[in-house]
């Protein structure tokens, strides 16, 4: 019972940090929402403490990130201690990988990034806030996958970027988009929750991830477009079982985009995300609905992989499809960490490489709004 209470206290501390970040950033709606979460959790703790066998004050626990965890050493069956790398170590690897990418500004090309945050929750966002801020500021539009609202709210507060995020599934996973201040929202976000409704598989409704869409305008150039962030069915169960599910999700998304076409509400569009399949492989059939609709894969001429399993490249799972946007650069994917001392990157920060592309734009005439 006491360990459960201590875990609850740890979550409360994270939420209090998030509340402070919301207040400092002036996001009072988010602060109110977070305060409600804290109040609900506190009420639950009062009930739990009343039935606890021992006073909570008698137990002391170290902060979770500092506690070494036991990990099996491959091939030996023995255990060794693993201490998560510090934010400084994370930053050191990012510096090596992204040396050629500068912080974005209020002019120049629009830079897009798609990034699987690998269980990016509030605790991870708080622990790695400085390197994550540095990373986010390398793009104007960052489509995150495998994260949640609390983590992205914390990052939004810390960077001054705007945020749209889907609901989270039962595993705490959502998709969300961070927007540089030069990117202005138009209309309301669209939540593609129907992507979780797979015929014959009601058990997947709470484990699959929805997608989120937002129409925006670039204040520098006046360029308008829709950005869609998606994270399709994983490969758990094997490609023969899962590829048809991903294809169905793409078919469902295209059907909705066609409805927007018919309503005259959809213009240029860029689809970003973790597709959970090698999208640059000609043999990949599940992306056919996207191609038939007219979405073109943004090419990856260097042939770099974005997904790694146990450090081994498995293909380009992450990237972009676009329609109606001229001037898009090929995808840039960083060289993955190769030195033995840096390979923790695949486990600690993510098991995916981020994908970047840029849209060439010109400044709009002064007389336009």
pLDDT, tens digit, 9 for 90 and up, residues 270-288: 999 999 999 999 999 999 9
Return the structure tokens found at 306.
């974005």
Which of 51, 66, 81 represents a domain boundary (last residue)? Answer: 66
Task: Tell me how far CA of residue 61 lies from CA of 17, 46, 66, 110, 306, in angstroms.
Answer: 18, 19, 11, 46, 38
Q: Is residue 85 part of a domain?
A: no
Q: Is residue 53 part of a domain?
A: yes
- Rounded to 5°, angle at Cα 85 from 80 and 88: 155
User: Do 97 and 147 fall within a single domain?
Assistant: yes
Residue located via tokens 């399949």: 277
Q: Is residue 100 part of a domain?
A: yes
Q: Is residue 83 part of a domain?
A: no
Torsion of CA 86, 11, 135, 213, to 10 degrees: 160
Q: Is residue 368 part of a domain?
A: no
User: Do 41 and 143 fall within a single domain?
Assistant: no
Q: Is residue 287 part of a domain?
A: yes
User: Do 29 and 168 fall within a single domain?
Assistant: no
Q: pTM of whole model > 0.85?
A: no
User: Do 101 and 61 fall within a single domain?
Assistant: no
Q: What is the CATH number of the domain that holds 143?
A: 3.60.10.10
User: Do 206 and 281 fall within a single domain?
Assistant: yes
Backbone angles phi, psi at 206, to 5 degrees: -95, 0
Q: Is residue 159 part of a domain?
A: yes
User: Do 168 and 286 fall within a single domain?
Assistant: yes
User: Do 216 and 299 fall within a single domain?
Assistant: yes
How many domains would you assign to the chain? Answer: 2
Q: Is residue 303 part of a domain?
A: yes
Taking only the tens of pLDDT, the chain with its 369 residues reads 466 666 667 667 767 777 777 777 677 767 777 776 776 666 555 555 655 544 333 333 333 333 333 444 444 445 566 677 889 988 999 998 888 899 999 999 999 999 999 999 999 999 999 999 999 999 999 999 999 999 999 999 999 999 999 998 888 899 999 999 999 999 999 999 999 999 999 989 999 999 999 999 999 999 999 999 999 999 988 889 999 999 999 999 999 999 999 999 999 999 999 999 999 999 999 999 999 999 999 999 999 999 988 778 899 999 999 999 999 999 999 988 878 777 777 667 888 999 999 999 999 887 555
Residue 137 domain boundaries: 93-359
User: Do 146 and 209 fall within a single domain?
Assistant: yes
User: Do 236 and 298 fall within a single domain?
Assistant: yes
pLDDT, tens digit, 9 for 90 and up, residues 306-344: 998 877 889 999 999 999 999 999 999 998 887 877 777
User: Do 57 and 138 fall within a single domain?
Assistant: no
Cα dihedral 198, 250, 305, 350 sign: negative
Query: What is the distance, to the nearest Å, from the Cα of residue 171 to the centroid of all Cα atoms in its chain?
Result: 14
User: Do 62 and 98 fall within a single domain?
Assistant: no
User: Do 135 and 241 fall within a single domain?
Assistant: yes
Which of 66, 81, 116 represents a domain boundary (last residue)? Answer: 66
Beta bridge partners of 227: 214, 270
Check: CB of residue 356 under 8 Å from CB of residue 101: yes
Which of 31, 66, 101 represents a domain boundary (last residue)? Answer: 66
């Amino acid at each position: 019972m006491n360990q459960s209470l201590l875990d609850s206290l740890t979550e409360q501390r994270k939420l209090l940090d998030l509340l402070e970040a919301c207040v400092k950033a002036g996001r009072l709606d988010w602060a109110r929402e977070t305060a409600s979460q804290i109040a609900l959790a506190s009420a639950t703790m009062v009930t739990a403490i009343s039935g606890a066998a021992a006073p909570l004050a008698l137990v002391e626990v170290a902060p979770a990130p500092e506690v070494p965890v036991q990990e099996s050493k491959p091939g030996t069956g023995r255990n060794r201690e693993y201490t998560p790398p510090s934010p400084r170590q994370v930053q050191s690897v990012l510096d090596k990988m992204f040396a050629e990418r500068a912080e974005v500004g209020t002019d120049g090309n629009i830079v897009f990034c798609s990034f699987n945050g690998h269980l990016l929750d509030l605790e991870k966002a708080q622990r790695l806030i400085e390197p994550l801020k540095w990373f986010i500021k390398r793009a104007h539009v960052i489509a995150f996958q495998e994260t949640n609202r609390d983590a992205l709210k914390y990052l939004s507060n810390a960077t001054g970027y705007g945020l749209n995020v889907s609901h989270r599934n039962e595993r705490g996973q959502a998709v969300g988009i961070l927007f540089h201040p030069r990117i202005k929202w138009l209309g309301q976000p669209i939540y593609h929750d129907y992507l979780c409704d797979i015929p014959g598989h009601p058990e997947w409704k709470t484990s699959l991830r929805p997608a989120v869409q937002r129409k925006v305008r670039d204040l520098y150039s006046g360029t308008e477009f829709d950005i869609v962030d998606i994270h399709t069915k994983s490969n758990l169960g094997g490609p023969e079982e899962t590829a048809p599910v991903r294809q169905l999700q793409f078919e469902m998304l295209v059907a909705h985009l066609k409805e927007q076409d018919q309503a005259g509400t959809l213009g240029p569009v860029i689809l970003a995300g973790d597709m959970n399949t090698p999208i640059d492989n000609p043999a990949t059939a599940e992306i056919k609905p996207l191609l038939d609709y007219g979405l073109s894969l943004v090419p990856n001429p260097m042939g770099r992989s974005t997904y790694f399993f146990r450090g081994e490249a498995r293909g380009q799972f992450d990237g972009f499809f676009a329609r109606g946007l001229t001037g898009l650069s090929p995808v840039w994917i960083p060289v993955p960490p190769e030195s033995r001392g840096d390979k923790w990157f695949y486990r600690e920060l993510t098991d995916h490489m981020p994908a970047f592309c840029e849209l060439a734009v010109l400044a709009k005439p002064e007389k336009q709004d």
